[in-house]
Amino acid sequence: MQVFSVLIYVLVGTEVDLLSTKGVLLGHGVVTGQTVVHGYELTYGWVPLMVKTIKANVKPWAEFPTLSGEVEKDSFVAWPKAYLKSKSC
C-alpha cells in the first residue's frame, strides 16, 4: 500500500470528487503519487490527481496552471485537499 505525503496523508489510488470553492461537483479523479505537477513542486494541502471526468471549461488552480488553461479528462493536476471528497465516504 503506497501512501503519498506532503505533510498530509492521502492513499494513492483513492477515487475522489473534485469540488469548487463553493462545494459544487466539478468532476472525479484518482490520487497519484507525483510530487511535481506541471513543473511545480507540491506543497502543503495539495494532492496530485489524474482527472477521470470533468465538466467543460473548468480552469486549473492558479498555483498549478496547465498548458491549455483548462482541466482536461485524463490529465494530471494538483487539487487542494480541502476541495476533495473521498468517493469511499
Q: Tens digit of pLDDT for each residue in 34-65?
A: 999 989 999 999 999 999 999 999 999 999 99
Does a structural domain hold residue 55? yes
pTM for the full model? 0.85
What is the total count of domains within the chain?
1
| Separation of alpha carbons 3 and 37, rounded Å | 17
Residue 24 structural domain: 3-84
Question: Are 33 and 48 a contacting pair, CB within 8 Å?
Answer: yes
pLDDT attached to residue 9: 66
Evaluate if residue 3 carries a pLDDT over 50: no
pLDDT attached to residue 88: 56
Does a structural domain hold residue 75? yes
Does a structural domain hold residue 33? yes
Closest CA to 71 of 43, 87, 52: 52
